[in-house]
Structure formats: structure tokens, C-alpha cells
Structure 1
Amino acid sequence: MCGRTCLTLDPDQVLCACKYPSRNNIKVEEQIKQESETPEWRAEFNLGRRYQPSYNIAPTDITPVIVSAAHFSEADDQQNARVVVPMMWGMIPSWHKGDYRKHGLTTNNCRLEHLMDSKLYRGPFKRGQRCVVICEGFYEWQTTKSAKPSEREAYLVYVPQESEVKIYDKNTWSPANVKLLRMAGLFDVWQDESGDKMYSYSIITFQSSEIMSWMHYRMPAILETEQQMNDWLNFKHVSDAQALAALRPATSLKWHRVAKCVNNSRNKSDECNKPLELAAKPEKPKGMLAWLTGNKSQHQHQQDNVKSSAEEQPQQKANLNTIKRSPSSPHVQNAAKRPRCEKSADIKVKSEPTDSVQL
């Protein structure tokens, strides 16, 4: 499973990070030194869409993908050369008609177990449309524990770096010494009615090995060595069976837990890939948001006061009823017999002895 990635390099930096060993070696002071080559950046039109570096890349975004240069040239010297092509994440079937965004299929990942049985993936694979998706790391959510999707722990998974390199801190590395994570994929080319092309890809996944099974039951096919890269990309000289044999579980990975801000694909903050303990805490609201929050709290406080008063009223009425009904209160008893209007508070009522009352 791979549902989100991180790649913050611009095109020139991507090419620097994607240098690969040349087949031509030179002799320097009695030692054989292996030269490196820089791939070509081939910016396809892709219906006007462009690659944008991001800390939180999601499906339908455009990202750099490595393919064999033989897809674009028949020259012999291009057989082992590599080209970087920006492509959309989520393969568009070449046979789809209409709006490319409405094919209705989930094509972010391609299951290796069903690759040869799939109408969608079998064609690109047989045509040698094998590619390598690059990133600084991919995000994965732990699904092996019972939790709501919004409460699952998220992790950034990446390849081990040199001791001084911290993948989440670009101040500690450069494109020349960072090790990008490389995932095997398939790509296809879709054309609209005008003949304009859109390149798109899907990442190959299989059942997780022990290294990731504690986190998720699926994992991407990660290419750890240059030999695996060559076997997967060189469709001219490497058979389908040999290429599939290059897809095996990774033997060395690292990860750290990240903040929940990565859950929202619209959040492109540099807090997304930081370890949870280093991620900034949410700031207190400011400006209009603070005013609205304050008013909401004040309104809630008023509601609480109204509720409290409403709860006290029955008790007050109960106390008043007790006073009215109490025989020990002469003021209450006389109040019912008192005239509605009294001219003077000094009027004296003459009382007669009880035994002189005549009926």
C-alpha cells in the first residue's frame, strides 16, 4: 500500500539525486573509477500540468518518474540510458474515452499478484512500460491496530541514510548525497480527442514482509540496488520473468511517526514529514479566528448561565411555596385578608374578645 509520498526537490535537484553508474569506467592512478551519468529531464505536455515539489504528494498529482530512454529513441546508445518524465499518479487506461479524470477506477497501486490477469496492467507490462517512482519517502498509516481511520498512526518510511543525514531536515543533506526511495511501477500513455498525451503511472505492491507487516499488510516493491533498477527498466534486453524476479521485499528500511496534519492531502506544510516529537504544536488562533473563538466561548458561557438559572428557578419556586403554606408565618396568612388598597398604615383595627362575638 502506498497512498502518499514526499518529494521536495526541484527538477534540477531531482536529476542530481538520480545519477546512475555509467557502463564506461576510467582508470585513475591504478584504480578503476566508475563514472556516473545524469538522466535527461523530459517534460511532456501532460495537458498543461506540471510537477510541483511537495511534502505531501497525493494521487492525481504529477511527480517525476524514471523510465528507459529506449521508449523515446531507437539508438543503441540509448538502451541503458535513463530519462525522467513527470507523470500523473494514478494510471489512466489508454482505452478510456472522455474526461481522463472520470474513468472511475482506483489505479494508484497495482497488485503484483493480479498484474498478469488485469486488463488495465497486463498491456503496459507486456509493452515494457516499466518505470521507477522516486521520492524521499512515502507515508503509511498503521492498519494492524483497531482504530478509526482518522485516529490511525501515520509514519514516513524511507531508506537508511548516511549518519549525518536526516531525511526530514534539508539542512543536513543535498541532492548529491541523499538516497531517494525507488519504487517499481507501470506507466501508460493516454490521448485526448486532440491527440494531446497524458503520462500516468501506478505503483506495484505486494504482501508485506516482516519488515513492514507490523504496520500494514501491503508494501510497495522497492528497488534497493542498481542491478534491480537495470533489470526493471531495461525492457529491451531483460525478459518479463527476469524483471518480475527483481521485485522482492526490501531488506532495510527506516521510519518515524509523523503528525496527523499529513492526513489532509491539502496540507503541504514542512511539518508533514517531521518526527512527531519535533512537529510544531497547533498555534493559538489569531485575528478574526481568535475573535470568533472568543465569542463562541462567551456565548457558551452565557448559555451555561441561562441553564444554571433555569435549574435554580424550580428550587426558588419550591422555597416560595413552602413559605406561603407555612402556618408559622402570620404575614403570609394576613396578606390574603388585607384590603387591596389601604389609605394609611396607621389604621388600627379594634379587636374584640373571642367570647363576645355574637352570631
Structure 2
Amino acid sequence: MCGRFTLVVSMEELMLRYELDPGNSVPYHRPQYNIAPTQMVLSIIHDGKGLRLGELKWGLVPSWAKDESMGSRMINARSETLLDKPAYRLPFERKRCLIPADGFYEWQRTGSGKQPYRIKLKSSELFSMAGLYDIWVREDGSKVATCTVITTRPNALMEPIHDRMPVILRREDELRWVRRGAEDPKELQQLLIPYPAEDMEAYPVNSTVNSVRNDSSLCIEKSS
């Protein structure tokens, strides 16, 4: 699964990485060391003309949902069953997004409890997690834009830590993933595979990250 991640780069680095138009209004951003479900996360969609940066609430609420409460249970979507689940089928066909990150956390079960790990690219570069989004409308007419992170089977690096990992898209596939227009969902599903283990690294971090209240550089420091 993917239940926490990091985005510690500056807005300038983010804009440069995705070649975003600096003339468009962008949300406020500061380094985030412990991003958690139900929080607002920076996300990138294609508006029909180009890439656009905005914020989505982490935890998908389908447009047909009766209330917002189910969002907290839908932080992840399994890549293998996107076409089978009503909550994900339409977003998969029409509402795909990129969720920028530079690391994510997972907890490995040990004899004495759970050891948190931070997993990142060896290059320390930004990467894009594959996401879906949807818009839910409240009774008063206000809109709630939400998202979910797609997960897949673990690669060789992740397998000893956890049985799922977020889908990290290859850079050359990012535009195809978010671009609007006719795409065969079954062909898109072929993009949702484990990222090469040889290009990633994992290191243990201390228990600071266990609490969502903690959001400082201590969260990403390597534990002894």
C-alpha cells in the first residue's frame, strides 16, 4: 500500500521538473516530510491544453457517493482491479493524475514491532505516483476534489518490507497517463507495474514518522 509519502523539494524545483507554466496560479507549498491520508496533496492533471498543478484531498470520494466518509477508506486503488471496481472504473478511463513525491514510507513487521522505512529513487529525484481523482458535490453545491494512489505488487527491494507498493510511472509515460482523449484502459494498465528495484533504495527511519503530527526533517533521517 502507500499510506505516507514525502515531497521536500521547493515549488521552483517542482515547476521545473514538470515544465509547468509559471504564469498559472499555484498552491502554496513548503517541504512536507510526512504526508498522510485526508490531507491535501499536490497533484497534476491535464486540462486539455497542458499540465496543471493543483491540490486534491487524499482519499477518493466517487461522484456518486452518498457522503464523504468513504474517502478515508479509499486512499489506495489496486492496479489489478481498476476496471472491476465501480469507484475506480470511470476515473481510470477519464480522470487520471500524477502525484509528485520524492519518497514514501512503509512499515516492515519485525519480532519487536514495526520498523518504518523510507523508499526513494537512488538519484533522489522527484517521481510521479499514478493516481485517480474524482469530484464530489455537497448538498450546498460546493465541490470536493479527491484522489487515490494506485498500488501494484512489490519489486525485489520492496518485497521484504511490504506486499504492495505505489505505482511509480516511468518519466516517459507520465504525459500518456494524464493526457485526455481516447486511451484503451487495458493498454494503460500495462503501465501500472513495479518500478525497477535497481533504481531504488530503502533505509530505516526512526519512529518520529509514526505520528502524522510530526512533519519535520527528523522523519527522513536514517535511524542507527
TM-score (norm 2): 0.89
Q: Are 1:130 and 2:96 counterparts?
A: yes
Matches within 5 A, 1:249-288: 249-251=194-196, 252-277=199-224
Q: 1:56 to 1:38 in 2, by over 3 A?
A: same
The structure having more radius of gyration, on CA atoms, is: 1
Q: Give me the whole-angstrom Cα distance separating, in 2, the residues matched to 1:209 and 1:94.
A: 33
Within 5 Å, which residues of 2 pair with 1:133-172? 133-143=99-109, 145-147=110-112, 151-161=113-123, 167=124
Q: Equivalents in 1 of 2:111, 2:64: separation in Å?
A: 40
> 1:40: how far off?
7.0
- Equivalent in 204, 214, 232 of residue 150 of structure 2: 204
Using the alignment, how far apart are the partners of 2:144 and 2:87 within structure 1? Answer: 16
Q: Residue 290 of structure 1 corresponds to which residue in structure 2?
A: none
Higher-strand-fraction structure: 2
Q: How far did residue 60 of structure 1 move?
A: 0.6
What is the distance in 1 between the residues matched to 2:139 and 2:99? 28
- Equivalent residue letter for 1:214: P
Judged with a 3 Å threshold, the aligned counterparts in structure 2 of structure 1 residues 63 and 54 are, in CA distance, closer, same or farther, namely same
Contact 2:2 2:166 in 1 (8 A): yes
SS at 1:241 equivalent = helix
Mapping of residues 29-44 of structure 1, within 5 Å: 38=21
Across the aligned residues of Structure 1 and Structure 2, the Cα RMSD in angstroms comes to 2.3
Which position in structure 2 is the counterpart of 1:182? Answer: 128
Tell me which residue corresponds to 2:39: 61
Aligned to 1:15: 15
Q: Residues 72-127 of structure 1, C-alpha deviation per residue, up to 9 Å, x if partnerless?
A: xxxxxx1xx211121111111212234x2x2375111001122111121112112x
Matching residue's letter, 1:136: D
Deviation at 1:209, TM superposition (A): 2.4
Q: Is the 8 A contact 1:16 1:38 kept in 2?
A: no
Identity %: 31
> Is residue 2:193 matched to residue 1:248?
yes
SS at match of 2:203: strand
More helix by share: 1
After superposition, the Cα gap between the structure-2 partners of 1:135 and 1:40, relative to the gap in structure 1 and judged at 3 Å, is: farther
**CA distance, structure 2, for counterparts of residue 223 and residue 208 of structure 1:** 14
* Structure 1 residues 112 and 9: alpha-carbon distance in aligned structure 2, compared to 1, 3 A threshold: same
Q: Verify: 1:89 aligned to 2:58, yes or no.
A: yes
Closer, same or farther: CA 43–111 of 1 in aligned 2, 3 Å = same
In 2, are the aligned partners of 1:18 and 1:38 still within 8 Å (CA)? no
Shift of 1:52: 5.7
Q: Distance in 1 between matches of 2:107 and 2:37?
A: 16
Distance 2:58 2:40 in 1: 6
How many residues align structurally? Answer: 222
Q: AA paired with 1:215?
A: I
Question: Aligned partners of 1:154, 1:105: CA distance in 2, in Å?
Answer: 22
Q: 1:146 to 1:188 in 2, by over 3 A?
A: farther
